[in-house]
Amino acid sequence: MASNTEENYLKALFQITIESGNKQEAGTNEIAAHLGVKPATANDMLKKLKLKKLIQYEKYGKSSLTKAGKKIAIEVVRKHRLWETFLFQKLAFSWDEVHEVAEQLEHIQSKKLIDKLDAYLEYPAFDPHGDTIPNAKGELNITIKKTLLEEEVGHQCKMIGVKDNSASFLQYVNKMGLSINQTIRIVARQAFDDLLEIEVNKKISSVSPKFAENIIVECAICNKATKA
Amino acid sequence: MASNTEENYLKALFQITIESGNKQEAGTNEIAAHLGVKPATANDMLKKLKLKKLIQYEKYGKSSLTKAGKKIAIEVVRKHRLWETFLFQKLAFSWDEVHEVAEQLEHIQSKKLIDKLDAYLEYPAFDPHGDTIPNAKGELNITIKKTLLEEEVGHQCKMIGVKDNSASFLQYVNKMGLSINQTIRIVARQAFDDLLEIEVNKKISSVSPKFAENIIVECAICNKATKA
DNA sequence: AAAATTAGTTAGGTTAGCCTAACTTTTATA
DNA sequence: TATAAAAGTTAGGCTAACCTAACTAATTTT
Ligand SMILES: [Mn+2]
Ligand SMILES: [Mn+2]
Ligand SMILES: [Mn+2]
Ligand SMILES: [Mn+2]
Question: Confidence band (pLDDT; 50, 70, 90) for B21?
Answer: low
Strand D, nucleotides < 7 Å from a protein CB: these are 7-12, 16-22, 25-26
pLDDT tens-digit map of B113-155: 999 999 999 999 999 888 899 999 999 887 777 899 999 999 9
Average pLDDT, integer, range A132-145: 87
- The residue type found at A3 is S
User: Residues 6 or more apart from B107 whose CB is under 8 A from it?
Assistant: B4, B7, B76, B79
Contacts with A111 from chain B: Cβ below 8 Å: none
Q: Is A201 exposed, middle or buried (0-12, 13-18, 19+ CB in 10 A)?
A: exposed
Comparing alpha-carbon positions, the chain B residue that sits nearest to A122 is B91
**A144 pLDDT more than 80:** no
pLDDT for B164 equals 81
Which of the 8 DSSP states describes residue A115? H
User: Residue A67: how many CB atoms within 10 A of its CB?
Assistant: 8
How many Å apart are CA A173 and CA A215, to the nearest integer?
9
- Distance between the alpha carbon (CA) of B211 and the C1' atom of C13, Å: 52
* φ/ψ bin of A65: left (φ > 0), alpha (ψ from -120 to 50), beta (otherwise): beta
Q: Are B112 and A90 an interchain contact pair (Cβ–Cβ within 8 Å)?
A: no
Average pLDDT, integer, range A158-177: 86
Contacts with B96 from chain A: Cβ below 8 Å: none
- The residue type found at A106 is E
Class at the top of the CATH hierarchy for domain B1-138: mainly alpha
Question: Confidence band (pLDDT; 50, 70, 90) for B198?
Answer: very high
Asked if strand C contacts A3 at the CB level, meaning under 7 A, the answer is: yes
How many Å apart are CA B211 and CA B187, to the nearest integer?
16
How many Å apart are CA B21 and CA B55, to the nearest integer?
18
Q: Does A4 lie at the interface with B, CB-CB under 8 angstroms?
A: no
**b/e burial code for range B15-38 (CB count within 10 A of at least 16 → b):** ebbbeeeeeebbebebbbebbebe
Helical residues (DSSP H) of A90-110, grouped into ranges: 95-105
Question: Confidence band (pLDDT; 50, 70, 90) for A14?
Answer: very high
How many Å apart are CA A120 and CA B48, to the nearest integer?
42
**Residues B17 and B24 sit within 8 Å (Cβ to Cβ):** yes
Which of the 8 DSSP states describes residue B214? T
Domain spans in chain B, listed from the N-terminal domain onward: 1-138, 146-227
Question: Confidence band (pLDDT; 50, 70, 90) for A161?
Answer: confident
pLDDT for A223 equals 59
Give me the count of residues in chain B: 228
User: Residue A90: how many CB atoms within 10 A of its CB?
Assistant: 16
- What CATH code is assigned to B146-227? 2.30.30.90
Helices A95-105, B111-120: inter-axial angle, 10-degree rounding? 100
- The tally of CA atoms less than 13 A away on the side-chain side of residue B162 is 21
Nearest to A48 by CA among A98, A17, A13, A2: A2
Strands of chain B, DSSP E: 55-56, 64-65, 141-142, 146-147, 156-162, 183-189, 196-200, 203-207, 215-218, 226-227
Which of the 8 DSSP states describes residue A204? E
Q: Are B93 and A109 an interchain contact pair (Cβ–Cβ within 8 Å)?
A: no
Asked if strand C contacts A40 at the CB level, meaning under 7 A, the answer is: yes
Model pTM score: 0.86
Average pLDDT, integer, range A18-23: 74
